[in-house]
Amino acid sequence: MNYNTESFYDQEITFDYDGTSYVWIGNYTIDEAIDDETEYAPGYNEVEVTIDDTYSLYSFYDGIDVKPTEDILYVIAEEIKMNY
């Protein structure tokens, strides 16, 4: 199985969740399969995003810090996939 792994550091992602805009700052890794899929890698031409670290997550308009829940991290990962 061949796949590419890219790591991104100190990235800033702006996204909407539940009617509010947020800004996330952190590190993430992208795995992209470029060969036949295996049990441990994403499928061919699929992208898997792993959020490695969260340095900051806050509401865009009022600057209030937010705890990164599993749902919010999922939305961040999907935003990264859409823009990859």
Q: CA-to-CA distance for 77 and 64, rounded, in angstroms?
A: 21
**Range of 58's domain?**
3-82
Residue 33: pLDDT band (50, 70, 90) is: confident
Residue 39: pLDDT band (50, 70, 90) is: low
**pTM (two decimals):** 0.84
- Sheet with 3-17, strands from edge to edge, namely 3-17, 20-33, 47-59
In this predicted structure, the answer to whether residue 40 has a pLDDT above a threshold of 80 is no
Question: How many domains is the chain partitioned into structurally?
Answer: 1
Residues 32/43, Cβ–Cβ less than 8 Å:
no
Residues 62/36, Cβ–Cβ less than 8 Å:
no
Q: CA-to-CA distance for 24 and 59, rounded, in angstroms?
A: 9
User: Closest Cα to residue 22, out of 74, 81, 84?
Assistant: 74
